[in-house]
Amino acid sequence: MLYPPEMRVLDAAREQVRALHGDPNHTVAAAAMDITGRIHTAVKDYHFTGGPCAELVVLGVAAAAASGPLVTIVAVGDGDRDVIAPCGRCRQVLLDQHPDCDVIIPDGDELRLVNVRSLLPHSYRHPDAQPERFVRFSARYFEAVRDGVKTATTRLNDPCAPGPAWLLFEFDDEYRRLPGWIDSVVSKRFDEISDDDARSEGCERADELRAGLRGHYPAITDADTVEVVRFHTTGVTG
């Protein structure tokens, strides 16, 4: 299921690929949304000596616009191919430079949104990439995080790292963000979540937090490992 922000990215890529008019050197379009909600588009530049894929070109376009980290990316092929998955090189570049980015990919007759990490489960990491990081939140948590009521988040298969990170809130019609700092990341079993963890998320008891997480992760089990991420805001951007 794609939500309105992802649909805007997809629509931009489809519009760009329709504008190619059968040019054999430019057969794929890509669109990417940055952390401010701006959408950048680009096209593949084929040449027999080698040429960059549309995803790599759009990374350059976004960087030239001082975009910061990218939130969502998609590639669309011409000739009614619609959404195509990124090649191996594009996956590795995305992982190194935008490790929190989600990718729209085909899944049978449906479209699916996956994090780039899941496309390269046994990859290496470029140690000098030093990408900007961000942590996604539902829009309903914006005020609680801004006001310091919610100072933790519990994640499943969504790695975070200590240090600076944008706290990104995904409203249907816009993104809002707060500059933040990840203080600690602690791994524990789902059934070991404590009342203290719950209070940091604005809940009263661990059972209340676990119930909420089951709603977000329906397949989670007591034996699954989650990460309790503690953070604080360092200012207000909006």
Mind telling me the catalytic residues? 55
- Are 79 and 100 in contact by the 8 Å Cβ rule? The answer is no
The torsion of the CA quartet 69, 33, 45, 87, rounded to 10 degrees, works out to 70
From the list 155, 101, 154, 90, the residue with the least C-alpha distance to 123 is 90
From the list 43, 45, 46, 72, the residue with the least C-alpha distance to 58 is 43
Phi and psi torsions of 171, nearest 5°: -80, 155
Distance CA 32, CA 76 (A): 12
